[in-house]
Structure 1
Amino acid sequence: MIALQQRAIAHFDLDCFFVSVECQQDDSLKGKPLLVGGSSDRAVVAACSYEARKFGIHSAMPMKTALRLCPHAIIRSGDMELYSKKSREITEIIADRAPLYEKSSIDEFYLDLSGMDKFFGSLKWTTELRKFIMQESGLPISFGLASNKMVSKVATDEAKPNGQLEICFGEEKNFLAPMPVEKIPMVGRETASQLRRRGVETVKTLSEVPVSLLEAWMGKNGISLWRKANGIDDSPVIPYYEQKSISTESTFPADTIDMEFLHGELVRMTEKIAFELRQQNKLTGCITVKIRYSDFETTTRQMSIPYSCSDHILLEKVKELFKKLYDRRLLVRLIGVRFSHLVQGNYQISLFDDTQEMISLYQAIDHIKNRFGPEFLMKGTNAIPPDKKKYPVPPKDIMPYFKM
């Protein structure tokens, strides 16, 4: 068994992935302030170029605000199908060469290269892989190489744009020490503000705060922060398997050909597992629909899609698959829906044409489902009539979540 201190973890990150793909399609966009997102004033910025960032623009910013900061910015609506295709191409390159890898998002990968120093040299091997990815894809990519995932990710951020950086074993604390606390992954604005109010501004200062005091300030999160500030992270690289999936199916008490009922079941099942995707902060790149007829013949059909976990996008594809699949006009005994080719990611990246209201609506729906149960809120097409089921009286405090 390889000792922890001998680990070699590389973190690869495609630089401004959506922007880079757009520039690859149109050379005239290179070197210009480019925004990827919806074109309406109420849309949000899904991604922006480094040139746009100089004006203070960042992802998830309202497009209207971004255009006030940089009126001459160029907007592209985004093409998730193309981005997903490029992501899969790079995944295949890494899968063919890496001994163990984790696809942590549509544009990020962790590689466990532990033990390779005995044969090739981890830095040499990783450098050659980076060159090959850029040669094959035509896209810029950066990497950080360190003894754990957290330090390698920070190293990648420091290596950008289009660079590489190795942090040798034993140098983790020195590397992190001068950085502001916000550089630690998962330290957001609120946590950083709490730390700064207590005089903790750099990672070095944070590493010197007694762990018991940090725990008193922030609970278990304080212990995690102390470990990260000291360059400690023993989280494993989780092997990535395309066959990982989330699925559900329903066998009916009586075989049916009632299309309204079947469509209602598709809505219910799609909503259910789309919510599970968002709970796990994952996106799906493949949908499968299954039908079992009254004579027990079972058929399935699937399609690859741009990565998503949004109900309205997934439901459209599920219905499309069902329409193509249901061709025997026999009574149906069972239907099922499965999402596979899962990657980590936030559903907002697929909402290029959606407004802030749509994003807020998804957040409100998930908040209510988390609080009261996933079946408390559902689409009207799948709702059970009042005379068939008694629903609890909606709490008075849920309505503010729907104010846009």
Structure 2
Amino acid sequence: MVEKSTSTLRRIIHIDMDAFYASVEQLDNPSLRGLPVVVAWKGSRSVVCAASYEARSFGVRSAMPALRAERLCPDAVFVPPNFTRYKEVSAHVRDIFHRYTEIIEPLSLDEAYLDVTSPQGEASATQIGERIRADIFSELGLTASAGISYNKYLAKIASDWRKPNGLFVIPPSRALEFLAELPVGRLPGVGRINEEKLARVGVESVEDLRQLEADLLQKHFGKWGLRLFDLARGIDNSPVKPERLTSQISSEDTFPHDLAIKDLGPQIRRIASTAWAAYEREASMSNNFLARTVTLKLKTSDFRIVTRSRTYSSPITSVEDLISTAGALLNRIDLPEEQLYRLVGVGLSGISRDSPVQDGLFLD
């Protein structure tokens, strides 16, 4: 049984469309059905926006460089993304959600949290999840997976459990048992680096994590350690937030080996391309979604954080602009030439939803 009874009061559904962009392309062009479809522009700077399950069987994944996807799956059919069309289909899916609840937190065009705690007649959360999936399939010809639980992070884990085209429920009575055998990397916020840190203190599964006291986790991981303590016990009282305004979009990566500043150019291009793909996905959901600030983040080999930013009076309009600005910011790093770096990040911020300004002068 979950330790905080307040968590059990909610009924949360996480809906995740299956290979959404690729599935829409296959829906609109039946000749693509059954083929390994990769939604991406071809080219050295392009990244994969989505891949059909046929392409995923070759190891192709979202945010992967398009050149690597080509190497993994030489027979892949590359289709340029059509965000106008994806936004149109996503709006229809959202309309379906609104038939069942007004408490909806979109995460992207293809996934959202729904709070169905308030009674929907006699329907259970499971029945609502099945009805939503049935409506999506009958009206759009697309499949979606649903996860249902008493909090958001468990619902999200559940939606991935029987993908594609599945539904899975994690009730409060089974949560601790379900979590126990999961790799700790399945918990939100536990990326590759934190997974390695946890492994150094003997933690590989959620059950291992549950054996550690809160004080020890806080000592090793600070405030985040206390959140880990709760997550291992199925505790998360984060509400579903109907309004979710994005203030910044970024991508970063920690290198297997520390690099000199002269070697960071290709890494910046790769990471900026990933950030731009995320930015385009977000922009496709909002009219006049505009970013005017570019930030370059570096972490040195001795864990110092260095950032440089530049703000324009007009918005960034292309991945080439983003890469160029990030490269210019790199030239403003004034640390010794022998300094090594372990992480690079590129971010877009200064987000507004206004009409773009026409001139291109710097504000800083």
Q: What is the 5 A alignment of 1:3-402? A: 3-116=6-119, 119-240=122-243, 283=283, 285-287=285-287, 309=290, 354=319, 360=323, 381-383=360-362
Query: 1:166: how far off?
Result: 1.0
Deviations 1:291-334 (A, max 9, x none): xxxxxxxxxxxxxxxxx55569xxxxxxxxxxxxxxxxxxxxxx
TM-score computed with the length of structure 2 as normaliser: 0.69
Structure 2 CA distance for aligned equivalents of residues 28 and 205 of structure 1: 48
Percent identity, aligned pairs only?
A: 32
Distance in 2 of aligned mates of 1:48 and 1:65? 13
Deviation at 1:3, TM superposition (A): 4.5
* Separation of aligned partners in 2, 1:222 and 1:215: 5
Give 1 or 2 for the bigger CA radius of gyration.
1
Once the two structures are TM-superposed, the CA of residue 64 in structure 1 deviates from its matched residue by 1.1
CA distance in 1, matches of 2:123, 2:180: 31
**CA apart distance, 1:158:** 0.7
Match for 1:382: what amino acid? L
Q: Is the 8 A contact 2:7 2:235 kept in 1?
A: no
Paired residue secondary structure (1:13): strand
Instruction: Give the Cα–Cα distance (whole angstroms) in 2 for the partners of residues 186 and 364 of structure 1.
Output: 29
Partners of 1:235 and 1:365 in 2: CA distance:
39
Q: 2:96 aligns to what SS in structure 1?
A: helix
Shift of 1:119: 2.6
Q: Residues 12 and 109 of structure 1 are in contact (CA less than 8 Å); yes or no, is this contact kept in structure 2?
A: yes
Offset of residue 28 of structure 1: 2.4
Matched residues in 1 for 2:246 and 2:49: separation?
A: 26
Equivalent position amino acid for 1:204 in 2? E
Q: Deviations over 1:8-48 (max 9, x none)?
A: 11110111111111111122222322211111133111111
Cα distance in 1 between the residues matched to 2:111 and 2:154: 15
Give the residue type in structure 2 aligned to 1:122: A
- AA aligned opposite 2:62: S
Q: Secondary structure at the match of 1:125?
A: helix
Secondary structure, aligned partner of 2:68: helix
Structure-1 separation of matches of 2:35 and 2:87: 24
Structure 1 residues 49, 100: CA separation in 2 closer, same or farther (over 3 Å shift)? same
- Describe the SS at the equivalent of 2:239: coil
Alpha-carbon distance in structure 2 between the residues aligned to 1:199 and 1:47: 35
* Other structure's SS at 1:158 match: coil
Q: Is the Cα–Cα contact under 8 Å of residues 42 and 67 in structure 2 kept in the other structure?
A: no
Distance 2:291 2:80 in 1: 18
Q: How many residues in Structure 1 have an aligned counterpart in Structure 2?
A: 290
User: Gapped runs of 5+ residues in structure 1?
Assistant: 247-276, 289-307, 313-336, 340-346, 385-390, 392-404
Query: What is the CA–CA distance in structure 2 between the aligned matches of 1:179 and 1:205, rounded to whole Å?
Result: 10
CA positional deviation for 1:282: 5.4
**1:161 partner SS:** coil
| Gap regions ≥5 residues in structure 2 | 248-277, 294-312, 333-344, 351-356
Deviation (angstroms), 1:92: 1.5
- Separation in 1, partners of 2:189, 2:167: 22
Change (3 A) 1:3 1:184: closer
Report if the CA contact (8 A) 1:14-1:107 is conserved. Answer: yes
Asked whether the 8 Å contact 2:48–2:63 carries over to 1, the reply is: yes
Distance across 2 between alignment mates of 1:83 and 1:71: 26
- 1:15, 1:228 → 2: CA distance? 26
- Secondary structure, in 3 states, of the residue corresponding to 1:87? helix
User: How far apart in 1 are the matches of 2:75 and 2:152?
Assistant: 38
Matches of 1:180 and 1:66, distance apart in 2? 27
For 1:61 and 1:245, the matched residues in 2 are separated by 23
Q: Cα–Cα, structure 1 residues 286 and 42, in superposed 2: closer, same or farther, change >3 Å?
A: closer
Distance 1:216 1:168 in 2: 32
Q: TM-score, normalised by structure 1?
A: 0.63
